[in-house]
Structure 1
Amino acid sequence: MSQPPYPPVPPSDPQQPGGQPGQPPQYGQQPPPQYGQQPPQYGQQPEFGQPQYGQAPPPPPPGAYPGAPVPPGAPGTKVDVGEAFSWAFNKFKNNVGAMILPGLVVFLLGAALIAVGFSAVALFGTTERVDYGNGFYYEETTLGFGGSVLFGLVYLVFIVGLLYIQASIISGAVRVANGEPVTAKSFLTPIRFGPVVGTAILVGIITGIGYVLCIIPGIIAMFFLMFSVVATIDKSLSPINAMKNSFELTKSKVGDSIITLLVTYAINLVGVLVCYVGLIVAAPVAQLFLVHCWRRLNGAPIAPADPA
């Protein structure tokens, strides 16, 4: 005798309301359990993540299936060079007045340094003529003690000014990523200037030691510490913790971090090749690009892009 194609339907309990075959349960009563399922126990809560009776199931997480929309900055997203550069360039283009100010300040600092150098030579320099004979000679100029002290002090002020401007540009890029209004103050006022200087000094020392050790260790150090200053500003970390954070992020996102580093340096290189004047544009664009990639890799929110 052949088996039926479907399991037999169990008989209904005539003592229960709605127990007659073909009759639905009355209002306010739970439907009978399906064949092969256990009825819920009294007081038992539905499992976490399971929709309750009459509710729609929760939506899938971003990127759970091919073609699912992933919002900018969502965890697990990769760096999109085109998106990041377009975001950075359009932000700069629409706020060019405020964002070129740091570059102009650096240009003025450099001009002042050159002017002081010539002034020190004129005031304290001494020139000596060295004769090689047969009409060949050259003139050697020395600054002297007073000129060397003056030039050294001005150079120190120049280095501190560069650190201040660098911290201001990165702080401005972080403010842009936060969606804050862009003003002249945004790119001229650094966030946590003291810790930023400490981080920059430590990164410079470690990278410098690496370059002395056959260059390659310096490149490796520069790569793993590339987000240190940004982490100091954006996450309010101490210099040591910021470097640790940068190391862990680049170690876990090697490919995306390499792309970020190469494109950032390429943008700055273009500015250098245009007689250094191009850095007035390249420096803020590069830092905006870096901060966008930093937020992407951390899964942090990013302000919407400006229209092209």
Structure 2
Amino acid sequence: MSEQPPGRTPDQPDDENAENDPYGTPPPSPGEQPYGQPDNQQPYGQPPYGQPGAQPPPYGQPGAQPPPYGQPGGQQPYGQQPYGQPGAQPPPYGQPPYGQPGGQSPYGGMPMAPSPVGGYAGPPFRVGDAIGYAWQKFTSNWSSWVLMGLVLLAVNVVFSLATGGFQQFQDALSGDASAMPSVGVGGYLVQVLGVVVSYVVTAFYTRGALDETRGAKPRLGDFFRITNVGNVILAAFLVGVATGVGILLCVIPGLIVAVLTVFVYQLTLDREVNAIDAIKGSFDLVKGNVGTVVLLMLALVGINLVGALLCGVGLLVTIPMSYIATTYAYRMLSGQHAA
């Protein structure tokens, strides 16, 4: 007489014996799904998908989760663009974009190893590309840029007439020091106001350049659409003081400060960070690409000298080009897309 497995008696039906069989049911044949689990390819002996201890189904099977964005087969969340493409949202300030050394993926995951040179270590750019890009953007929207330059020139003339700037300039040229008014409290206030106005004018131009580099053609009113004004002025003031002190210390330290803080306006307007973070952010962007940034600044100085030699009229072209080229460099070094 053959032995029966424990728990099974000869008089039990086969189906009842199968339900009480401690050894389980025979494995399904290839291509056959476990009973009660439609379309699931769960290996024999494993708990059904969704039960404690079950292994997740392979990607492509029902119930499977797609791999993270950036991995093979991963799907981008609906409505989001990969960072660096048009329409993408920039990463939080202080974090390099995903895909760059040290970058934190906006969709989760571990950050990459930090760059040994520090900063964002974004994609390099060539000086010729920056200037060519600036020329293309200016010529495609030259009327708005020239009109903006004429408006600011008219404001400067009115301000100089109202504060006696032209008269003081003529007295200085004639050498008649006795005719020059003494600088009192009012004179200092006028000078401070003039400095603040220069900061705001720079912000106007930078706002237009930020629009150009993201693919929008700014009109006259768009230049004046600036935010974070307080931090813009404070950051510019701190940079001005540091640069002035550096100039007094044998000039070279001041030039170094000017180079390292070249993207302060872009950061305060584009990322809307505070003044200190904007200065630190500019340091981070430049310090890994000092050579390229210095070459760009020297090239822009030369272009503006040529514009000034053309009776000053050329500055209506070269000044906008300078702001666009600098903002192009900012976009590239921060890993963004210059449209």
Identify which of 44, 48, 51 aligns with 2:55: 44
Deviations for 1:63-97, whole angstroms, at most 9, x for unmatched residues? Answer: xxxxxxx9689754222434433332222212212
Moved more, 234-243 or 90-99: 90-99
Equivalent residue for 1:101? 147
Q: Once the 2 structures are TM-superposed, how far is the Cα of residue 141 of structure 1 from its aligned partner?
A: 5.3
Equivalent residue for 1:58? 72
For 2:227, what is the secondary structure of its paired residue?
A: coil
Equivalent residue for 1:92? 138
- For 1:295, give the aligned amino acid: R
With over 3 angstroms needed to count, the CA separation of the structure-2 counterparts of 1:40 and 1:84, relative to structure 1, is: farther
CA contact (8 A) 1:232 1:238 kept: yes
Alignment of 1:195-206 (within 5 A): 195-206=231-242
Structure 2: 5+ residue runs without aligned partners?
1-25, 34-38, 49-53, 75-83, 89-96, 101-121
Deviations for 1:217-260, whole angstroms, at most 9, x for unmatched residues? Answer: 11211121111122111111111111011112212333443344
Alignment of 1:239-278 (within 5 A): 239-278=275-314
The alignment's TM-score, normalised by the length of structure 2, stands at 0.60
Q: Once the 2 structures are TM-superposed, how far is the Cα of residue 145 of structure 1 from its aligned partner?
A: 3.5
Identify which of 187, 195, 207 aligns with 2:243: 207
Q: Once the 2 structures are TM-superposed, how far is the Cα of residue 168 of structure 1 from its aligned partner?
A: 0.5
Pairing 1:235–2:249 present: no
With over 3 angstroms needed to count, the CA separation of the structure-2 counterparts of 1:212 and 1:93, relative to structure 1, is: same
Q: Once the 2 structures are TM-superposed, how far is the Cα of residue 165 of structure 1 from its aligned partner?
A: 1.7
Equivalent residue for 1:133? none
For 1:142, what is the secondary structure of its paired residue?
A: helix
By percentage of residues, which structure has more strand?
A: 1
CA RMSD of aligned residues (A): 4.0
Identify which of 168, 174, 184 aligns with 2:220: 184
Q: Once the 2 structures are TM-superposed, how far is the Cα of residue 205 of structure 1 from its aligned partner?
A: 0.8
CA contact (8 A) 1:120 1:151 kept: no
Structure 1 CA distance for aligned equivalents of residues 175 and 197 of structure 2:
34
Q: Once the 2 structures are TM-superposed, how far is the Cα of residue 279 of structure 1 from its aligned partner?
A: 1.7
CA contact (8 A) 2:85 2:336 kept: no
Identify which of 110, 131, 143 aligns with 2:179: 143
Structure 2 CA distance for aligned equivalents of residues 262 and 103 of structure 1:
22
CA contact (8 A) 1:102 1:188 kept: no
With over 3 angstroms needed to count, the CA separation of the structure-2 counterparts of 1:25 and 1:109, relative to structure 1, is: closer
Deviations for 1:128-174, whole angstroms, at most 9, x for unmatched residues? Answer: xxxxxxxxxx9845225479899877665544433322110011112
Pairing 1:216–2:222 present: no
CA contact (8 A) 1:101 1:187 kept: no
Structure 2 CA distance for aligned equivalents of residues 162 and 145 of structure 1:
23
**Alignment: residue pair count:** 254
Pairing 1:77–2:123 present: yes
Identify which of 169, 188, 211 aligns with 2:205: 169
For 1:206, what is the secondary structure of its paired residue?
A: helix
Structure 2 CA distance for aligned equivalents of residues 275 and 82 of structure 1:
26
CA contact (8 A) 1:271 1:282 kept: yes
Deviations for 1:78-126, whole angstroms, at most 9, x for unmatched residues? Answer: 224344333322222122121123322343355453794555699xx7x
CA contact (8 A) 2:260 2:287 kept: yes
Q: Which structure ranks higher in relative contact order (CA pairs < 8 Å, sequence separation ≥ 6)? A: 1
Give the fraction of aligned pairs with identical amino acids, expressed as a percent.
30
Structure 1: 5+ residue runs without aligned partners?
1-14, 19-23, 34-38, 61-69, 126-137
Structure 2 CA distance for aligned equivalents of residues 53 and 94 of structure 1:
51
With over 3 angstroms needed to count, the CA separation of the structure-2 counterparts of 1:278 and 1:295, relative to structure 1, is: same
Structure 1 CA distance for aligned equivalents of residues 336 and 175 of structure 2:
60
Pairing 1:26–2:26 present: no
Q: Once the 2 structures are TM-superposed, how far is the Cα of residue 58 of structure 1 from its aligned partner?
A: 2.1
CA contact (8 A) 2:168 2:180 kept: no
CA contact (8 A) 1:121 1:142 kept: no
The alignment's TM-score, normalised by the length of structure 1, stands at 0.65
